[in-house]
């Protein structure tokens, strides 16, 4: 015979439908979001990984100063590689953007057509979908490149530009200001061949199995290349952010979303546990009687455990269905908003199933099971006598009688409902983290952007292909060199070394022999201080260098090391007096463009904040809304429990003659005090949590962004919290009003 107690489930559901539906909807929403992101992310990563073979993505590319003849190509191909022409033009458009144009490549780095058609006519171009989107360009529109009108025939994803990095050394890609496109061979030639970049892609005949082997093979190839030609540029695919960044970044999101889901489920599990615990208190005589009649602890634990588990299970199923359908589209749109990904198919994701179904169920089970086991340790007699207090002879602690009775009453309510209020504190913290994440991010980026102007080493930073003199008085020569950090958490990044002249106008430090200064960004990101020793390595070799840090130089926007120029020249084998760059506060006009490798201005430094805002802007709004909803849900459910738990007392004070205003002062104001106190006391903690969270997030990006959230954003969170609570308080006041006085007559204490 089935346990007759099971018949209560439907009735329980009906009697507390509001609570269950709110919890159900919230779990569904959370699981749908996480499942959607994981499924879309996983399917897209899979498509991205498969694209290497499907679209024949290069194993690397190099650029020569002139077109290679067949003899040279044959010589290079002796290294068991196939070489493909990958010439491109880089032109300014009338929109102020830079467009890198290729011939529509059919052998290597093939383009994926997302919509429209590949170009057929000479005046047609298919451009990157996301770049078009950011510049509000559509199929049929015209763009003007080098004075020539080009009609957009289609939108594409170029597989060697899944992240639109203009240069591998860029801090961040820039989908708005930099775009790529393909034209017909004839159209490409008409645009102009005098400014061609002679870029070549290579693919190994036998592909490397991993990055280590890829690096070894790439080093060997570079060695061979240097023996037979001069290289303008050399970038193996494993090191090319334009190819690799997307895969790395999409993996990061999963970790953040997963952790977020588990926290939410844990809080909901606590809410369930508190509710169940109150139900047990309410039904204690019945439980005692059932236990006395022969029902086992296990049967009753299973009974009270069933509802939370059932709600979570159904929510997980519904959440996953929504995750694979509605949210998957939403998540895919967000990824498509940042990355130039190819088309993909939705794949079943076992990991997503585990993280969105199995783990939430396990969390829900464990929290509720442990609390129920603890509760059911008491004897049946204790249940019958309603003596559920675990502490014998628990005394009410004394409160100063000079405090008014209303205040003491409120304090007693807080002590009585401590588990609820502690959960409120944690819930408020979590909701605030989500809210402040949505609010702080734009402020943080704005601050970073503003800092750039103040913190640039100079208004212009020129990197030269070879030493070239200038008459510009503002210019100060330096030697630039690039090394890489050792791997930390699977991440390495480029470090700019600046060899600076004595008494520099731009870098105000006194160097000592065998010591360096590091930028404040380096210091913050890698937690390096004066007196420490840092180890950096050559980008394409295993050679390592150790540097003793003398001090930290206030430069918060780049990962840089500053040392005496002569020392740098000696260390890296340059001649005395060698330099390859200029700091300047004025534009240098007397150096031939051909001799300038790069000019770095504020705008280049601004890319990181612009791209982060562009790609994450939508998500920030979502975070803020989810934060507010989470806040309201937690406060609503827990304050509802407080009211329900005290309904008999509320009924009694009504009989005594307390009016609704006075009762609200006791029961609603108390929760209000806890909520407002939670909002305020969690602020310093919130600040620390945010600092850790954002620092963890930014660590994975090249460069650094100093953590900064203005006080105004915290104030806004408090105001949003209070406003949200006002809505909840209003609902609870209605609930208090509806508690009938007869309640005091019905049940026994």
Of 188 and 667, which has the nearer Cβ to other proteins?
A: 667
Residue 596, SS3 per DSSP: strand
One-letter-per-residue 3-state SS of 325-371:
CHHHHHHHHHHHHHCCCCCCCCCCCHHHHHHHHHHHHHHHHHHHHHH
Our finding on whether 425 is near other proteins (CB under 8 A) is: no
CB of 361 to other proteins, least distance (A): 35
Judged by CB under 8 A, which of 415, 491, 696, 730 binds other proteins?
415
- Residue 726: partners with Cβ closer than 8 Å, 6 or more residues away: none
Residue of 326, 406, 685, 691 interacting with other proteins (CB under 8 A): 406
Q: Is 479 in the site for other proteins (CB under 8 A)?
A: no
Q: Which is nearer to other proteins, 408 or 537 (CB)?
A: 408
Q: Closest Cα to residue 304, out of 282, 324, 319?
A: 282
Report how far residue 552's alpha carbon sits from residue 106's, in angstroms, rounded to the nearest whole number: 50
Question: Given candidates 252, 382, 412, 537, which one binds other proteins under the rule CB under 8 A?
Answer: 412
| CB closer to other proteins out of 466 and 656 | 656
We find the least distance from the C-beta atom of residue 382 to other proteins, in angstroms, to be 12
Compute the least distance from the CB of residue 378 to other proteins, in Å: 15
- Give the C-alpha distances (Å, rounded to integers) separating 208 from 84, 429, 716: 18, 47, 52
C-alpha 199/C-alpha 86 separation (Å) is 5
Contacts of 131 (CB under 8 A, 6+ apart): 97, 137, 164, 175, 176, 178, 179, 180, 340
Backbone phi, then psi, for 173, in 5-degree steps?
-80, 165
Residue closer to other proteins by CB (options 417, 519) is: 417
- Please select the residue that binds other proteins; options are 405, 473, 541, 593, rule is CB under 8 A: 405
Q: Which is nearer to other proteins, 409 or 579 (CB)?
A: 409
CA angle 259, 265, 269 (to 5 degrees): 145
Q: Candidates 61-69, 187-195, 600-608, 650-658 — which segment interacts with other proteins by CB under 8 A?
A: 650-658
Q: Look at residues 411, 439, 326, 355 and name the one whose alpha carbon lies nearest to residue 670.
A: 411
131, 121, 143, 132: which is closest to 190 by C-alpha? 121
398 versus 546: smaller Cβ distance to other proteins: 398
418 binds other proteins (CB under 8 A): no
Min. distance of Cβ 749 from other proteins in angstroms? 6
Q: How far is the CB of 409 from other proteins (least distance, A)?
A: 7
Q: Quick one: 418 or 711, whose CB is closer to other proteins?
A: 418
Stretch that binds other proteins, among 56-64, 232-240, 413-421, 578-586 (CB under 8 A): 413-421
Name the residue nearer to other proteins (CB basis): 293 or 400. 400
Structure tokens at 334: 């967000």
Residue 2 near other proteins by CB under 8 A: no
**Rounded-to-integer distance, Cα 219 and Cα 7, Å:** 72
Are residues 517 and 551 in contact, defined by beta-carbon separation less than 8 angstroms? Answer: yes
Residue placing its CB nearer to other proteins in the complex, 215 or 654: 654
Residue from 79, 167, 229, 416 in contact with other proteins (CB under 8 A): 416
Binding mask 348-387 for other proteins (x = CB under 8 A): ---------------------------------------x
Question: What is the footprint of other proteins within residues 382-401 (CB under 8 A)?
Answer: 387, 389, 393-396, 398, 401
Residues in the interface with other proteins (CB under 8 A) total 32
- Residue 424, token pair as written in the block: 């409120």
Cβ at position 748, least distance to other proteins in Å:
5
Least distance (Å) between residue 744 CB and other proteins: 5
Q: Mask 654-693, x = binds other proteins (CB under 8 A)?
A: xxxxxx----------------------------------
Torsions phi, psi for 477 (to 5 deg): -75, 150
**Under rule CB under 8 A, residue 408 binds other proteins:** yes
Closest approach, Cβ 649 to other proteins, in A, equals 5
**C-alpha–C-alpha distance, residues 44 and 633, integer Å:** 33
What string marks each residue from 702 to 741 as x (binds other proteins by CB under 8 A) or -? ---------------------------------------x
Q: What is the maximal distance between C-alpha atoms in the chain?
A: 104
Nearer to other proteins, 576 or 742 (CB): 742
Pairing between β-strand 233-236 and β-strand 178-183 as defined by DSSP bridges: unpaired
Helix axes 241-282, 284-293, angle to 10 degrees: 80
Per-residue contact string for residues 620-649; x = within reach of other proteins by CB under 8 A: ----------------------------xx
**Can you spell out the DSSP letters for 647-694?**
HHHHHHHHHHT--HHHHHHHHHHHHHHHHHHHHHHHHHHHHHHHHHHH
Locate 476 and state its tokens: 């100060």
Using CB under 8 A, list all residues that contact other proteins: 387, 389, 393-396, 398, 401, 405-406, 408-409, 412-413, 415-416, 648-649, 652-659, 741-742, 744-745, 748-749
């Amino acid at each position: 015979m089935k346990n007759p107690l099971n018949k209560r489930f439907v009735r329980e559901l009906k009697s507390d439908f509001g609570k269950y539906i709110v919890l159900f909807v919230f779990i569904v929403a959370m699981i749908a979001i996480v499942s959607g992101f994981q499924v879309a992310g996983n399917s897209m990563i899979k498509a991205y990984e498969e694209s290497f073979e499907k679209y024949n993505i290069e194993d690397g590319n190099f650029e020569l100063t002139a077109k290679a003849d067949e003899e040279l190509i044959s010589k290079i191909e002796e290294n068991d590689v196939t070489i493909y022409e990958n010439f491109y033009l880089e032109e300014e458009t009338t929109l102020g953007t830079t467009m890198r144009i290729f011939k529509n490549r059919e052998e290597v780095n093939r383009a994926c057509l997302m919509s429209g058609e590949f170009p057929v006519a000479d005046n047609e171009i298919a451009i990157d979908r996301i770049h078009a989107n950011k510049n509000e360009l559509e199929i049929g529109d015209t763009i003007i490149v080098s004075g020539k009108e080009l009609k957009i025939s289609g939108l594409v994803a170029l597989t060697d530009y899944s992240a639109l990095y203009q240069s591998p050394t860029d801090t961040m890609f820039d989908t708005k200001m930099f775009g790529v496109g393909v034209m017909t061979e004839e159209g490409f030639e008409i645009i102009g061949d005098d400014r061609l970049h002679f870029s070549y892609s290579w693919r190994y005949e036998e592909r490397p199995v991993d990055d280590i082997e890829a690096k070894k093979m790439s080093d060997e190839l570079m060695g061979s290349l240097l023996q037979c030609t001069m290289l303008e540029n050399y970038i193996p695919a494993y090191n090319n952010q334009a190819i690799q960044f997307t895969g790395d970044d999409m993996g990061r999101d999963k970790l953040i979303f997963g952790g977020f889901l588990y926290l939410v489920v844990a809080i909901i599990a606590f809410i369930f546990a508190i509710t169940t615990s109150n139900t047990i208190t309410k039904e204690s005589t019945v439980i005692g009687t059932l236990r006395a009649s022969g029902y086992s602890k296990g049967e009753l634990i299973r009974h009270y455990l069933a509802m939370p588990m059932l709600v979570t299970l159904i929510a997980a199923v519904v959440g996953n269905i929504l995750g694979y359908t509605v949210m998957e589209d939403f998540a895919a749109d967000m990824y498509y908003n940042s990355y130039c990904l190819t088309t993909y198919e939705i794949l079943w994701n076992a990991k997503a199933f585990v993280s969105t179904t199995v783990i939430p169920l396990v969390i829900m089970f464990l929290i509720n099971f442990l609390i129920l086991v603890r509760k059911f340790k008491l004897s049946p007699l204790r249940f019958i006598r309603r003596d559920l207090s675990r502490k014998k002879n628990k005394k009410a602690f004394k409160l100063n009688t000079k405090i008014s009775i209303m205040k003491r009453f409120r304090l007693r309510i807080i002590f009585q409902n401590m588990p609820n209020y502690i959960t409120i504190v944690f819930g408020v913290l979590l909701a605030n983290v989500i809210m402040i994440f949505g609010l702080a991010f734009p402020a943080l980026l704005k601050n970073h952007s503003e800092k750039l102007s103040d913190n640039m080493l100079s208004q212009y930073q020129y990197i030269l292909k070879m030493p070239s003199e200038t008459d510009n008085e503002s210019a100060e020569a330096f030697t630039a060199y690039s090394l890489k950090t050792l791997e930390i958490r699977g991440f390495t990044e480029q470090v700019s070394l600046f060899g600076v002249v004595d008494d520099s106008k731009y870098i105000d430090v006194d160097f000592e022999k065998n010591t360096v200064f590091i930028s404040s960004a380096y210091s913050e990101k890698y937690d390096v201080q004066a007196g420490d020793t840092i180890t950096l390595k050559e980008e394409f070799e295993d050679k390592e260098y150790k540097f003793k840090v003398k001090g930290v130089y206030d430069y918060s926007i780049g990962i840089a090391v500053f040392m005496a120029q002569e020392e740098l020249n000696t260390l890296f084998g340059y001649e005395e007096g060698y330099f390859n760059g200029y700091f300047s506060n004025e534009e240098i006009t007397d150096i031939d463009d051909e001799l300038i490798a790069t000019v770095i201005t504020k705008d280049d430094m601004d890319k990181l904040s612009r791209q982060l805002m562009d790609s994450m802007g939508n998500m920030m709004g979502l975070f803020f809304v989810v934060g507010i909803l989470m806040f309201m849900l937690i406060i609503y459910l827990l304050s509802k429990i407080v009211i329900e738990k005290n309904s008999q007392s509320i009924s009694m004070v009504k009989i005594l003659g307390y009016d609704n205003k006075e009762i609200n002062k006791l029961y609603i104001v108390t929760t209000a005090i806890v909520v407002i106190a939670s909002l305020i006391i969690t602020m310093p903690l919130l600040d620390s949590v945010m600092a850790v969270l954002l620092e963890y997030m930014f660590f994975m990006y090249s460069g650094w962004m100093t953590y900064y959230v203005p006080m105004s954003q915290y104030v806004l969170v408090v105001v949003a919290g209070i406003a949200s609570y006002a809505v909840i308080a209003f609902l609870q006041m209605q609930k208090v009003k509806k508690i009938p006085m007869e309640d005091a007559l019905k049940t026994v204490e």
